[in-house]
Amino acid sequence: MEDQVFAGIVKDVRQCARSYRNSAKRKKDDGKDKSVGVDDQPISKQLKGSLVKCLPQMMYGFGDAKDPPAESVSYLETIVLDRMATVVSRCVENHGVYSGGQGQAKAKLSAEDLLFEIRKDKRKHRRCKELLRLNEEIKQAKKSYEKPEMLEDGK
């Protein structure tokens, strides 16, 4: 479930980054800013409310009340989104530096970019590598389950 939530958040961040780049291109082409739209807001504002369903469960799992106050969930969501935006922006910067001058406009982040960013925090780095390994094992198990010879083992 966390992987699906994380994948959804990454998708939203990528979409916001795309819309930000497109709005920056439009501003550059127009020469002046005519209005402030949704694309001009920080990503944390654009994604506000996307973690409201899963954060209370996570908070409970880490020892908070079963139904935490809405203010606590909102505050924690703000912290999480700000931290994610910071990490993603640093990943994009590092990707631009280490991708042979490809630039930030064509940056497509990968797991390696995230691993590079958190390389100094050994605990997070180990956990990410473990989750990536488990993800690969799950993919392989699904592939082997879908093979036709696996379905005919009764013969």
- Nearest in space to 83 (alpha carbons), one of 7, 11, 2, 13: 13
35 inside domain: no
**Cα gap 126→69, rounded to integer Å:** 33
Residues 62 and 81 both lie in one domain: yes
How many domains in the chain?
A: 2
- Count the Cβ atoms, other than its own, within 10 Å of residue 6: 12
pLDDT digits (tens, 9 = 90+) for 25-37: 665 555 554 445 5
- Count the Cβ atoms, other than its own, within 10 Å of residue 13: 20
Q: What is the pTM of this model?
A: 0.56
**Cα gap 3→54, rounded to integer Å:** 12
DSSP state of 42: -
Domain of 19 in residue numbering reads as 2-29+40-111
What average pLDDT does the segment 106-135 reach? 90
Residues 129 and 53 both lie in one domain: no
Check pLDDT > 80 for residue 155. Answer: no
What average pLDDT does the segment 95-123 reach? 77
**Cα gap 152→147, rounded to integer Å:** 9
